Amino acid sequence: MMKILFLDQSGKPGGAELFLLDIAKPYRNNCLVGLFADGGFKKLLEQQEIPVQVLTNQVIKVSKESSLMEGLSSLNKLAPLINKVIKISQDYDLIYANTQKALVVGAIAHFFTHRPLIYHLHDILSLDHFSKTNRQIAVTLANRCASLVIATSQATKTAFIEAGGKPEIVEVVYNGFQSENYEIDESKINQIRQNLGIKQQFVVGHFSRLSPWKGQHILIEALTHCPENVTAILVGDALFGEEDYTQQLHKQVAELGLEKRVKFLGFQADIAPLMKACDLITHTSISPEPFGRVIAEAMLCKKPVIAAKAGGAIELIEHQKTGWLITPGNSLTLAEFINYCRQHPELSETIAQQAQIFARQHFELTTINQQIAQLLNQLMYSGEEMRKLRKEIFTADERK
């Protein structure tokens, strides 16, 4: 089996990291996950017996919004990390960059080691999320160094191409999930509702990191237009220096007098039981979502979903058949659909059942991992053929 060096910038488990956790499992005996920060993600990898190493203790302060000058000033600090990755990658067949900072480091390692580079694109490369400079860096490095770009959705692929990415190197592979992980015993669900004091409430769940573009503030505002028995649980924590937004959310809840109707549960490693304890799941991103991992998980939990009509969400949900799509950022419309679901439980149940069937057909982890394995095998095969051809040409030239 091929040996893969996975690279990821985060020490905290976000959506991209949880996906990496799943795709690295089949290669656990022949891979290493190199992280650019320590944290909870390392522990999750260790629990799955996936080899992991924190490659630097140096905080990489460059963000998606950083300017060219900020990016250049960081290269100095990256030098020890780059040298370490170059050295390690010589023992592996492939470099698999799972984030943008990993792409930068992986591209330089590719240049020196000639190991094929794969870039897994978990972002929509738009100016909503990236500075013009950072978007150009990502596209340029992918075009020049990556043999393959794996996009998490058609929306992600389209944005990559529109930003100047080569269409011939990009393939779409959705996130994968194990369906059985979303089958939770009813007694456990009842216990969760009782422990949270929401047994008699209509519970609306929101599952994502606390970030302005994820739009938790929109759900909080929508609650003011819903009956008193509608309660929201917010599952997730701030990442990437967005702690100020968490404080703003708590302030918003207090100002609106919703302390008894909004519960902040923080990061939870296992969200399926909490999803099953909800009556409805909302997705409120105000910018296009690259995929919508939470949407797929809610569908697998057989829970009705209201999602923002943009990005990957449009590929996951068929309006009024497998969920509801609404205009991003509109709290009044969100409230209307929450109230509609509350008033029509039988219809909501039917839609949730159809969504679960769709999710099991399209996001099963075994199938997704087979798709990735096939792409990697094709890449290795074509690379081996190219090396053989070069060797034959070199040998022929020597004979002359």
pLDDT attached to residue 128: 78
- Average pLDDT on 210-221 reads 97
Question: 34 with 88: CB under 8 angstroms?
Answer: yes
The answer for residues whose C-beta is within 8 angstroms of residue 281's C-beta and 6 or more apart is 204, 205, 206, 207, 275, 294, 295, 298, 301, 303, 304, 305, 306
Question: 64 with 36: CB under 8 angstroms?
Answer: no
pLDDT attached to residue 374: 94
387 pLDDT exceeds 90? no
Domains for the chain: give ranges and CATH numbers.
4-176+364-399 (3.40.50.2000), 179-362 (3.40.50.2000)
Percentage of the chain lying above the pLDDT 70 cut: 91
Establish how many alpha carbons lie within 13 A of residue 294's alpha carbon, considering only the half-sphere containing its beta carbon.
25
- Give the chain's length: 400
User: Who wins on pLDDT, 330 or 382?
Assistant: 330
Count Cβ atoms below 10 Å from residue 41 Cβ, excluding itself: 24
Mapped onto helix, strand or coil, the DSSP state of residue 273 is helix
pLDDT tens profile 97-148: 999 999 999 999 999 999 999 999 999 998 877 889 899 999 999 999 999 9
Mapped onto helix, strand or coil, the DSSP state of residue 305 is strand
Question: 287 with 312: CB under 8 angstroms?
Answer: no
Angle, helix 68-89 to helix 132-145, in steps of 10 degrees: 30
CA distance 395 to 400: 9
311 pLDDT exceeds 90? yes
Task: Indicate if the alpha-carbon torsion angle 53, 18, 313, 240 is positive or negative.
Answer: negative
CA 99 to chain centre: 10
- Average pLDDT on 18-41 reads 95
N-terminal to C-terminal alpha carbon distance within the chain: 37
